Structure 1
């Protein structure tokens, strides 16, 4: 008897555990900017070996494919298997195969909101924003409490240049957990495109609700309390293993790229994005959208720095 276990893959980092709250008064926070010659960076990089494709995941894909070929399965079983295989393809960076499977899921189970969520993510990565919006709207119709759709639809709005819509979705996502640093920082990105000074003020205020863990340092980078080298150094603090370090660096390099863009150092930003991509952490949003950020840099499609 074959037992199938469906493990939903997270499309955003997990909410950090609660720690001691910061006590800095937001009214006293001074946002500072580094002074250096454009194109010159003294930052030191931490380079790690890219995560290699998981042989276990590849074997599971083969097993699922064989099972679907050799057995007569119900529509529900086919939907579960296709969804699982799509999630495995996604984690291995095989986005085209993943997208095919997630679309096929809906032929067997039209009401699976998680499949629509993944379809929206992959459409966004491909720059097909219209399809992405349709998929996320369908996911919310099926499951208004879906944990990640507001984040993912907000990202679609952000990269399609609809910053008001992005701000609204990121705000909804943020208010679900005000202690999550990633929710704070993506909301800041949208607000930065709308009104920069106000965005920094709100970022400093929201920082007070975020526990002082590693993710908190990402916010502190943008508020000027630490610099790039300090953020990179902080990735080594209390790290459990090589995989955890690589995951932190995927995040750190992406957010350092955004930081450098805001300072006007596009060459440094591009280098950081390439380092984020080199980690091969395909299912992290920081890896997913690094190519779109590189495209924005090439097209000059961003707000000028302060």
Structure 2
């Protein structure tokens, strides 16, 4: 699409929305929402929690809850180091918090500390076996840690618990591609055809499967979304899953551009924003390895050619000596 190529060469994107052409050539610029910023309500909440945490008469249980709430606000603002400190302090005061272990597990995954992620998410599920978010995030952590069989087993169970949830189907598909691509694709198509509602997640599934064109997908978002926050959230998800599709096809330039667009809305608390960093890291690592391989091949070729040149030079010298 034209707008992807435009994004790749660094065209400045309008923050007020998007523009489209009257022909079928695609978007003039990528559809965008105004990047989310801290609200006055969030700032007031942070100030209030800061003051309450200074009070000496607050008991540990209440203090743990306040650290958790402040951590969530910091997380939503992209202040993840501060949020992690708050979550850790909350756990120190009250260790039996499944939700806190869950979000820490996501942090560890984002930082590619997979052992830390497994431990945190296992703890979350031990404390609350019904924590569906922790179950999904464990499958995703195992997926990014390249433990695909374990990831697929958990993702399969997670999907079977609620087969009408499009996001469970989507992640089962991505993980399944690493186990059996043909089966994963066929199952995902069947799941999409059996959808029973208009959940936005099924719109994502449609564009992933190419049952819906990218133009149709974005036009639907822009014509049905009136709130900037909702627009930013939908675009974050849309760009992320489109990027994964391009990445799977080996189109790294388009994938890189789309992952950056997924992060452009500042929807920090969405896993699609968080995992865009992980995916970009994987792409850069793949490109680095490819470049290193090319260098090694070039060096091997030069080394192979060098003896031939030496031999030729010796023959010339030998012929000159005989001639004399």
Please tell me the TM-score bracket, short chain as reference.
0.7 to 0.9
1:260, 1:176 → 2: CA distance? 29
Question: TM-score, length-normalised on structure 1?
Answer: 0.82
> Is structure 2 residue 108 aligned with structure 1 residue 119?
no
Contact 1:120–1:133 (CA under 8 A) maintained in structure 2: yes
| Structure 1 counterpart of 2:73 | 88
2:141, 2:170 → 1: CA distance? 16
| Structure 2 counterpart of 1:59 | 44
**Greater relative contact order (Cα 8 A, min sep 6): structure 1 or 2?**
1
2:171, 2:194 → 1: CA distance? 15
Aligned residues: 266
| Structure 2 counterpart of 1:159 | 144
Choose which of 247, 260, 278 in structure 1 pairs with 2:246: 260
Mapping of residues 22-37 of structure 1, within 5 Å = none
- How far off is 1:275 after superposition? 0.6
2:62, 2:52 → 1: CA distance? 11
Structure 2: segments with no counterpart, 5+ residues:
9-24, 288-324
| Structure 2 counterpart of 1:274 | 260
**Cα offsets for 1:181-201 (capped at 9, x unmatched):** 111111100001112111110
Contact 2:106–2:117 (CA under 8 A) maintained in structure 1: yes
Contact 1:39–1:265 (CA under 8 A) maintained in structure 2: no
Choose which of 235, 251, 262 in structure 1 pairs with 2:237: 251
Contact 1:151–1:173 (CA under 8 A) maintained in structure 2: yes
Q: Please identify, of 59-68 and 249-258, the stretch whose mean Cα deviation from structure 2 is larger.
A: 59-68
Choose which of 190, 198, 216 in structure 2 pairs with 1:205: 190
Contact 2:140–2:151 (CA under 8 A) maintained in structure 1: yes
| Structure 2 counterpart of 1:168 | 153
2:265, 2:150 → 1: CA distance? 31
Give the match's secondary structure for 2:224.
coil
- Structure (1 or 2) with the larger CA radius of gyration: 2
Choose which of 273, 286, 290 in structure 2 pairs with 1:287: 273
Question: TM-score, length-normalised on structure 2?
Answer: 0.77
| Structure 2 counterpart of 1:11 | none
1:282, 1:75 → 2: CA distance? 29
Give the match's secondary structure for 2:95.
coil
| Structure 2 counterpart of 1:242 | 228
- How far off is 1:39 after superposition? 7.2
